[in-house]
A and B are shown apart, each in its own frame.
Chain A
Amino acid sequence: DAEITQSPRHKITETGRQVTLACHQTWNHNNMFWYRQDLGHGLRLIHYSYGVHDTNKGEVSDGYSVSRSNTEDLPLTLESAASSQTSVYFCASSVVGGDTGELFFGEGSRLTVL
Chain B
Amino acid sequence: AQKVTQAQTEISVVEKEDVTLDCVYETRDTTYYLFWYKQPPSGELVFLIRRNSFDEQNEISGRYSWNFQKSTSSFNFTITASQVVDSAVYFCALSGKYSSASKIIFGSGTRLSIRP
Residue ranges of A at the interface with B (Cβ–Cβ < 8 Å)? 33, 35, 40-45, 48, 56, 58-59, 88, 90, 92, 97-105, 107-108
Contact = CB atoms under 8 A, between A and B. Distances in A.
Contacts of A33: 103-104
In this complex, which of A35, A88, A99 has the most chain B Cβ atoms within 10 angstroms of its Cβ?
A: A99
B97 interface: yes
A43 B103 contact: no
B103 A40 contact: no
The contact size tier of chain B is 20 to 34
A42 B108 contact: yes
B106 A44 contact: yes
Interface in B61-116: 91, 93, 95-97, 102-109
A105 B44 contact: yes
B107 A99 contact: no
A93 to B, nearest CB: 12
Interface of B: 6, 9, 33, 35, 37, 43-45, 47, 50, 52, 91, 93, 95-97, 102-109
Nearest to B32: A99
A108 B43 contact: yes
Which 3 pairs, one residue from A and one from B, show the smallest C-beta to C-beta distance? A99-B95, A42-B108, A43-B106
A65 B93 CA distance: 24
20 contacts: A35-B106, A40-B108, A42-B91, A43-B91, A43-B93, A43-B109, A44-B106, A48-B103, A58-B103, A59-B105, A88-B43, A98-B104, A99-B33, A99-B96, A99-B97, A99-B102, A99-B104, A103-B47, A103-B104, A104-B47
